Structure 1
């Protein structure tokens, strides 16, 4: 039998192109994927590196702090997105310290060359950030959010600051602070040493208001934090013109409240529609303490009253024989159309006057 030969036919050019397209469309090999993930994380260990990372941050990026003390002014104006927030994270022994302020301050605080705000970390026009794990101390203010909605502050520690610890300002709405620890505020101005400050007083709306109106830092949630001791002003100050926040599951230690500038309660609610539930509050001397929770009704807007429609339930208050009511509601007539509500599920001990000064709702 005669032998036969076979030959291999080379793929046509179209088949080669199709094969190349298929290979390009396949997901990257694990090593390539890991390299991509690493590229989205920026590790920093010096103040200069942190400043550079904040100035160049991109959506989806993580800036990771090494343990250590970072001295200086730390500010970002880089926005994240809902799908790709930016994260600044570090362990508790990664500590931001701002020894400022210095230079000539602008009439309304904006990041300005040659001026150091003194803030520990400042987000300005920087929505969709996650601030997690690290510590801020020895600064004029701790964490300040301006025009920065949808920011989550999680598991941070802020202590030993001159004024307030965390401020949601200039319509920084839909923010969250949770699982964090705040103490030793108001070291320079006791009456201005709030733990968490939501919005702005009506007298400051010219700077911090939205198009000349209120500072609409709405729907801010304060969840599962530990406040005190030595917070010189209110642990949470909810300013007029803000709406629909949640204050839930926090622990308040009022030891050290100063009583200055009417700072004499754990929580002062001047906003509307807040749910205050499941919190635990205690207080002991030294403290100048009037009531656990208070409402006030500043007349700043012709379109809506302030300090109305707030609800308290399942809060446990121990006033230590220093305060009058667990919940003190002022000027009920101003909220006739949207009254504040105190449920019977709230409990109080050590009160000089009782649970509340208004009728209790079952």
Structure 2
């Protein structure tokens, strides 16, 4: 009986074309293949937990917004090769007072995740857009191996309490093409003056515990390579390479990393500077007052960072105020090194380690 059953099934198995067989470990329902801008927009709008949207090589022009949440157990993945390129030719239409999708307005963002937690973005490129990748109220997002370049403002922005995210193994160059002072490579949180719009939790933008790891940022990042905003805390900036060539000096953009948040670990990064550009210090802290009040720019730790200031910058690590952080001081470890500084490693006492 079993032999007869197998014999009856054999013709059906042989008749199944190879193209219909899903790749090993995937079901056809889990993978959506896209090759056009319309297909990508439709796939983003219909995405479900556990699904993978896979980009074919080519340029995708449009306003691409993801609003469907994944889950911890089943994130949604958008993936493609480096020659799958997202481009937003906007912005257009009348912008609302606080950015939100809809209403016929195109933000100009290359890729916008809006209230879309638990996504994985891997491999593809974003260019020629107002901003590169923007996350609003989208925690637990991983960006891995993405290339962002030639954007008008910032490259990647974790905003509106997009906490517990990861940016790793990615590359960001040529930002701030239209507004150099707002051309940060990576932007964590929001300035206190914008919390009325972007403050989701307790009045603040708590884009906390974001990890920026193993990325190459620069050259021609016109503002800070990483801008850590007030009210954020507990992040990790590790193993990145910063090339300060082309930093503009506009809007106080004159360092690789500006830390206004608290409790960050900044370790094992390599930074260089060479003209053209405006450069003051490798890393800086600042302590803006905010409502609600936070201990901003305090409790951060630097260790194992290697800095070459090109004979231009004063300090590798400039701590702007020690009195404001008396309750939770910043710590500069002796494992940091510097060359090409006009004044030295740091302006505060060094802690062994």
TM-score normalised according to structure 2 size:
0.92
The match for 2:248 among 258, 261, 264 is 258
The match for 1:140 among 112, 130, 133 is 130
Matches within 5 A, 1:227-238: 227-238=217-228
Query: Is residue 106–residue 112 contact of structure 1 (8 Å, CA) maintained in 2?
Result: no
Q: 2:189 is matched with which residue?
A: 199
Secondary structure of 2:74's match? coil
Query: Is residue 204–residue 292 contact of structure 2 (8 Å, CA) maintained in 1?
Result: no
1:348 and 2:332 matched: no
Q: 1:128 is matched with which residue?
A: 118
Q: Deviations over 1:76-128 (max 9, x none)?
A: 11000000000000000000000000001010000013100000000000000
Q: 2:15 is matched with which residue?
A: none
- Alignment RMSD: 1.3
1:174 and 2:164 matched: yes
What's the CA shift for 1:287? 1.1
Secondary structure of 1:60's match? coil
CA distance in 1, matches of 2:248, 2:271: 16
1:116 and 2:88 matched: no
CA distance in 2, matches of 1:110, 1:32: 37
CA distance in 1, matches of 2:316, 2:262: 19
Query: Is residue 323–residue 352 contact of structure 1 (8 Å, CA) maintained in 2?
Result: yes
What's the CA shift for 1:212? 5.6
Q: 1:52 is matched with which residue?
A: 42
1:220 and 2:246 matched: no
Cα distance change, pair 251–32 in 1 and its aligned pair in 2 (3 A): closer
Q: 1:64 is matched with which residue?
A: 54
What's the CA shift for 1:43? 0.2
CA distance in 1, matches of 2:54, 2:197: 33
CA distance in 1, matches of 2:339, 2:157: 31
Q: Deviations over 1:18-75 (max 9, x none)?
A: xxxxxxxxxxxxx799696122100000000000000000000000000000000000
CA distance in 2, matches of 1:291, 1:36: 49
Q: Structure 1: which 5+ runs fail to align? A: 1-30
Secondary structure of 2:27's match? helix
Query: Is residue 164–residue 193 contact of structure 1 (8 Å, CA) maintained in 2?
Result: yes
Q: Deviations over 1:224-265 (max 9, x none)?
A: 000110000000000000000000000000000000000000
Q: 1:267 is matched with which residue?
A: 257
Q: Deviations over 1:293-325 (max 9, x none)?
A: 000000004543200000000000000011000
Cα distance change, pair 37–326 in 1 and its aligned pair in 2 (3 A): same
The count of corresponding residues between Structure 1 and Structure 2 is 332
The match for 1:86 among 76, 82, 100 is 76
Max Rg structure: 1
CA distance in 2, matches of 1:141, 1:290: 26
Q: 2:299 is matched with which residue?
A: 309
The match for 2:200 among 210, 213, 216 is 210
Cα distance change, pair 302–212 in 1 and its aligned pair in 2 (3 A): closer
Query: Is residue 313–residue 344 contact of structure 1 (8 Å, CA) maintained in 2?
Result: yes
CA distance in 2, matches of 1:133, 1:196: 17
Secondary structure of 1:205's match? helix
Cα distance change, pair 211–278 in 1 and its aligned pair in 2 (3 A): closer
Query: Is residue 240–residue 307 contact of structure 1 (8 Å, CA) maintained in 2?
Result: yes
CA distance in 1, matches of 2:313, 2:28: 54
Q: 1:241 is matched with which residue?
A: 231
Secondary structure of 1:37's match? coil
Secondary structure of 1:123's match? strand
CA distance in 2, matches of 1:123, 1:95: 17
Query: Is residue 206–residue 212 contact of structure 1 (8 Å, CA) maintained in 2?
Result: no
The match for 2:277 among 287, 311, 315 is 287
